Amino acid sequence: MKPLHECHVLVTPTSYGRFDPRQKTELETAVGRVTYNTTGKPLTSAQLQELLPDVDGYIAGLDEINETAVASAPCLRVIARYGVGTNNVDLAAAAAHGVIVTNTPGANAASVAELTIALMLNLQRPILAAAAETRQGGWPRLKGVSLVGKTVGLLGLGAIGKEVARRLAGFDCAVWAYDVVTDEAFARQHHVTLTALDALLTHADVLSLHLPVLPSTRQMVNADFLQQMKPGAYLINTSRGELVDEAALYTALATGHLAGAALDAFSQEPPGTENPLLSLPQVIPTPHMGAHSDDATNAMGRMALADCLAVLRGDEPLYRIV
Q: How far apart are the C-alpha atoms of 28 and 303, rounded to whole Å?
A: 16
What is the pLDDT at residue 299? 96
CATH topology of domain 109-285: Rossmann fold (3.40.50)
What is the pLDDT at residue 244? 98
Q: Which residue type sits at 227?
A: Q
184 flagged as catalytic: no
What is the pLDDT at residue 85? 83
Secondary structure class of 10 (helix, strand, coil)? strand
Helices (H), the chain: 22-30, 45-51, 67-71, 91-96, 109-124, 127-135, 159-168, 184-189, 197-203, 223-228, 246-254, 294-313
Q: How far apart are the C-alpha atoms of 85 and 62, rounded to whole Å?
A: 9
Contact indicator for 62, 103 with CB cutoff of 8 Å: no
Of 218, 215, 191, 193, residue with least CA distance to 204: 193
Contact indicator for 192, 226 with CB cutoff of 8 Å: no
77 flagged as catalytic: no
Asked if 4-107+293-313 and 109-285 have one fold, the answer is: yes
What are the pLDDT digits (tens) for 140-161?
A: 999 999 999 999 999 999 999 9
Listed as ranges, residues in the chain with pLDDT below 50 are none
Instruction: Using only the alpha carbons of the chain, give its radius of gyration.
Output: 21
What is the pLDDT at residue 84? 86
269 flagged as catalytic: yes
C-alpha torsion angle, residues 192, 196, 197, 199 (rounded to 10)? -90
What are the pLDDT digits (tens) for 168-219?
A: 999 999 999 999 999 999 999 999 999 999 999 999 999 999 999 999 999 9
What is the pLDDT at residue 87? 85
| Four-way CATH pick for 4-107+293-313: 3.40.50.720, 3.40.50.2000, 3.40.47.10, 3.40.50.300 | 3.40.50.720
Q: Taking the domains of the chain in order of start, what are their residue ranges? A: 4-107+293-313, 109-285
Total number of residues shown for the chain: 322
Within 8 A by CB and 6+ apart from 6, the residues are 31, 32
Contact indicator for 150, 173 with CB cutoff of 8 Å: yes
> 55 φ, ψ to 5°?
-90, 135
Strand locations in the chain, DSSP E?
A: 8-11, 33-36, 57-60, 78-81, 100-102, 151-155, 174-178, 192-194, 206-209, 233-237, 258-263, 283-285
Cα atoms in the 13 Å half-sphere on the side-chain side of 210: 31
Q: How far apart are the C-alpha atoms of 83 and 290, rounded to whole Å?
A: 11
DSSP letter for 13, please. -
